[in-house]
Structure 1
Amino acid sequence: MTSAALLVCPAAGKGRAARVAGTVAARLRTAVDALDLHVASSAEGTAAAARRAVDAGVDVLVVLGGDGGAHLAVQACAETPTALAVVAAGTGNDLATALGTTSVDDVVAGLCAGSTRSLDLGRTAGGTWFATVLCAGFDSAVNERANALRWPAGPRRYDLAVLAELASLRPARLTVETEVERLELDALLVAVGNTTSYGGGIPVCPDADAADGLFDLTVVSAAPRRTLLRVLPTLRTGRHVDHPAVRTLRAKSARLSGPAWVAYADGERVHGLPVEVESRSGALTAVTAPRA
């Protein structure tokens, strides 16, 4: 007997999650034996509902929302027997994309087939888990601006925020320390990838694998603005890692320090640098779309 809880983040996707919640619940009931519905109007309420469901021993916690809702659910599901499923209904949906569950039909197919995957998670020294990418610098500033924008919806919001932040872009002295090396340079951004993408499908760490026990780090060093304008289009293809201004590392743990940058993880604000992160192997069980 499979028990599930559906956690609805009603504000996700400018209200899209609330509009489709009934349809999603009906579809999920065809794949599980019992389904409880939880609707929270705040991040605090969402986190509390996720924790209650996991503490009650539910088999699967299904999040109807975006990366913000998924991030809160990860905090509850990490290192527990409860599997996480994500029905994409937000702005970025990077975790759902990584799991192949971009629709409720994908989740239902995964539940019916018993399709799950063991994923690594990142964890900060302060105890925050993240499933996709932790970033700081230019990209976290873009996140802050994108979160404040009311228009446009979807990934284009991040594109607009990128252009706006370019105007005030300034490098800073960054130190990256891993278990095997230390890197100190004038940098514009650093991204620590558990999965490949953030910002609605930007593969900032294109070779990241959430099952290898390691982070992929991408560091962009100081460069003229005209150079960055040539590099930016390659972000969507992952070819930016071939540019001389881009450094890549692979590590089990890392400490980022130096600038007065704010770190974001899964698109959510964490805290200012310094920040320490560690990869935890197999810390999350996730429902995935079955392979064709």
Structure 2
Amino acid sequence: MRTVLLVNPAAATGAAARVAGSVAQRLREGTDQLALRVATSPAETLGLAARAVADGADTVVVLGGDGAAHAAVQACAGTDTALALVPAGTGNDLANALGVPNNPLLAADEVARALREGRRRRIDLGRVSGGSWFATVLCAGFDSAVNERANALRWPGGPRRYDLAILLELARLRPRPLVVDTGDATVELDATLVAVGNTGCYGGGIPVCPDADPADGLFDVTIVGRVSRSALVRIVPTLRTGRHVEHPAVTTLRVRSLHLGGRTGWVAYADGERQARLPLTVRCEPAALAVVA
């Protein structure tokens, strides 16, 4: 068994670099060959992951956060090379969706055990037409503006960064005319945000699409319609519990594909990474990614 460990040394303000040696030692207990590669950017992560896949690696293990995981997904999608995650980032939403422990050393032990036992499964991925794959949530509107704001903040760390970004973006809240075409039906409304979930959470554990299942071949879609700032302030706390879907301004859908259009000017984010401006088409690709679980 050939395994490649990709390390993003900057993840979690250097925490990944500090544990890389210990993580590698633990992973060697589960594989015949382990190659350690260091990537200093998402582009380098993608290049190293693509090379590992081309060279026939059985598994690519990413030690880093959601950005590094997203880059590796691009290389492993649609192949027989499995992706494994050892979380060491800010959000770790994909790792959490796969049930990986947040502690990187415990996660490395779990991955090594899964490698020894040959435990892998396949999960769905989302694909942006003409663009990238994503494993967790694609969002646009207020939440993507929050993403842009959070990415620009240097303090605080973790989920609190997103909480602060939410407060800062509330002042700029403005619903926009959104058209969601699922092929079977069209939804037109003034919307505050739309989230397309392959898994349930984004932003460091916010269950925006709480019932999303990455193995059912479908997206869960959450749309927040026109709401006032005060109403959105009341909805925000329920995002942490998933009860926002009970609000009368929230529409939920379950679809295989959809086209997001309308005069919004919104930029989409997927897996926390900037994508294209709307309009765009998104499709769920069943069992597109092998994961060590």
TM-score by length of 2: 0.96
In 1, Cα distance between equivalents of 2:119 and 2:190 = 44
Q: Secondary structure at the match of 1:126?
A: coil
- Choose which of 174, 180, 186 in structure 2 pairs with 1:176: 180
Amino acid across the alignment from 2:267: V
Residues in 1 aligned to 2:130 and 2:41: alpha-carbon distance in whole angstroms: 22
The within-5 A match list for 1:125-144 is: 125-144=129-148
* Distance in 1 separating the partners of 2:170 and 2:9: 32
Say if 1:179 and 1:252, in contact at 8 Å, map to a contact too.
no
Is 1:175–1:256's contact at 8 Å kept on the other side of the alignment? yes
The letter of the residue matching 2:136 is: T
Alignment of 1:1-292 (within 5 A): 2-102=1-101, 103-258=107-262, 259-288=264-293
Q: Partners in 1 of 2:170 and 2:100 — Cα distance?
A: 33
C-alpha offsets along residues 43-64 of structure 1, whole Å, 9 cap, x if unaligned?
Answer: 2211110100011010000000
Aligned-residue offset at 1:109? 2.5
% identity of equivalent residues: 64
* Residue deviations 1:205-256 (CA, integer Å, cap 9, x gap): 0111111111010000011111111111110110000000100001110111
- Structure 1 unaligned regions, length at least 5: none
Further displaced range: 24-33 or 38-47: 38-47
Distance in 1, Cα, partners of 2:179 & 2:160: 31
Deviation at 1:183, TM superposition (A): 0.5
Q: 1:114, CA displacement in angstroms?
A: 2.0
Aligned partners of 1:12 and 1:66 also within 8 Å: yes
Q: What is the letter of the counterpart of residue 290 of structure 2?
A: T
1:143-181 deviation digits (Å, cap 9, x = unpaired): 111111111111111111111111111110011111211
**Contact kept in structure 2, 1:204 and 1:235, CA below 8 Å:** yes
RMSD: 0.9
Aligned equivalents of 1:108 and 1:238: distance in 2? 33
Name the CA distance, whole Å, in 2 between partners of 1:78 and 1:150. 32
The amino acid of 2:87's aligned partner reads A
Task: Show structure 2 runs of 5+ residues with no match.
Answer: 102-106
Return the alpha-carbon distance in structure 2 between the equivalents of residues 106 and 245 of structure 1: 41
Contact 1:176 1:254 survives alignment (8 Å): yes
Deviations 1:98-118 (A, max 9, x none): 111132222223222322121
Q: Distance in 2 between matches of 1:260 and 1:127?
A: 18
1:116-145 alpha-carbon deviations (Å, 9 max, x no partner):
121000011113100000000011011111
Deviation at 1:73, TM superposition (A): 0.3
CA distance in 1, matches of 2:158, 2:133: 24
Distance 1:42 1:111 in 2: 27
* Aligned mates of 2:113, 2:182 — CA distance in 1: 40
Q: Which residue of 1 aligns with 2:104?
A: none
Hey, what's the Cα distance between the residues in 1 that align with 2:108 and 2:27? 8
Q: What amino acid sits opposite 1:176 in the alignment?
A: V
